[in-house]
Amino acid sequence: MAKKIKIHYRAPSHVPLWKVMEEGGFLEKHGLEMEMGSLEGQRKRAADGLKAGDLDVVSGNHHNLYVRKALYGDPYVHIAQSNNAWRENYLVCGKGIEGLKDLKGKRVAMDDYDGHTGLNVWLYLKQHGLEEGRDVELVTDAVKGAERAKAVTEGKYDATFIRAVDRLRALKFNAKIVEVPPMAMIEGVTLTTTTTYVKNHEDEARALILALIDGIHFFKTKKADTLAIIKKHCSQLLKMHDDEEWNCFYETQSESLEKAPYPSIEAIQNVFALGVKRDPEIKEFNPLALWDLHYVKEIDDGGYIRRLYT
């Protein structure tokens, strides 16, 4: 009999991979059944639900658990990681902007500088020598990427950052867009739970990682089948306009998925920097304390992942 896991996602972009894991039969293959819910925009509720045992696994909660672990010893743990790159790396340029070097003294808009998307931009600019308040003004505008791009073309802001699909949309109204290098970052499907849950459900934890590995392999190697699944289950959620956008979404996602779901050290360092920005008192905390990768390593060392791709 399949074991049920309560999983809630923190962003709609996570759902395609979960649906591939479910519809591709990989959860069932490893003896699991998923009860899925949404906690989009509900960072605290997700963390509280995990701690209380009301949720088994959250997909995401990338930067906000370090403070709770550091200050209160809360038993959160990340056990696998699907993506290690920030991909909102298309710079929409206003008048006189040719690239990052021209942003000094300018106004850069994002949807939420207290959330993951805006904090990513804050860190990216900082890593390129542009300090908030000193070199660049960060302006909040809680609209979608293509709408922010439109506002830049109309002169409301000097620049914004958007993802690949929004780039296609923005090009249709002649936005000036420059692709900039991506940045290492914990993004996408992070299997987030608690040590309490894992201790009492070791088999489920291991099985869920196996299903994730199988789902990633299917996603990366079976484009037509993957698109059929995500079009069926995620059309309302993702709101793609045409096949060009679906293909763009697929290619961007597929390229960024990790065959072996380890986080990169640089991605952990960068996501921790977001946590420190919000809560500077945790700067001496070791972010690796939030990660337990021994299940991934056990599976990897056994050759399971290598055999999938040979």
What average pLDDT does this structure show over 161-190?
Answer: 97
Q: Where are the domains of the chain?
A: 3-84+185-308, 88-181
For 65, the 3-state DSSP assignment is helix
Specify whether the CB–CB gap between 2 and 33 falls below 8 A.
yes
Residue partners of 284: CB distance under 8 A and separation at least 6: none
Q: Could you read off the pLDDT of 73-109 as tens digits, one per residue?
A: 999 999 999 999 999 999 999 999 999 999 999 999 9
Q: Predicted confidence band at 127 (pLDDT cuts at 50, 70, 90)? A: very high
Compute the distance between CA of residue 271 and CA of residue 6 in angstroms, rounded to an integer.
25
* Digit-coded pLDDT (tens) for 36-52: 999 888 888 899 999 99
pLDDT band at 280 (very low <50, low <70, confident <90, very high): very high
Contacts of 101 (CB under 8 A, 6+ apart): none
Tell me if 191 sits within 8 A of 212, measured CB to CB: yes
> What is the reported pTM?
0.95
Does 88-181 match 3-84+185-308 at the fold level? yes
Q: In terms of residues, how long is the chain?
A: 310
Residue 114: what pLDDT?
86
* Class of the CATH-defined domain 88-181: alpha beta
Rounded-to-integer distance, Cα 134 and Cα 122, Å: 12
Average pLDDT over residues 210-238: 96
Mean pLDDT of the chain: 96
Instruction: Give residue-wise pLDDT tens across range 292-304.
Output: 999 999 999 999 9
In this prediction, what percent of the chain has a pLDDT beyond 90? 93
Contact 75, 51 (CB under 8 A): yes
Collapse the DSSP code of 159 into the 3-class scheme (helix H, G, I; strand E, B; otherwise coil) and give the result.
strand
Where does 3-84+185-308 sit in CATH, by number?
3.40.190.10
Phi and psi based region of residue 236 (left: phi greater than 0; alpha: psi -120 to 50; beta: remaining):
alpha
**How confident is the model over 271-299, as a mean pLDDT?**
97
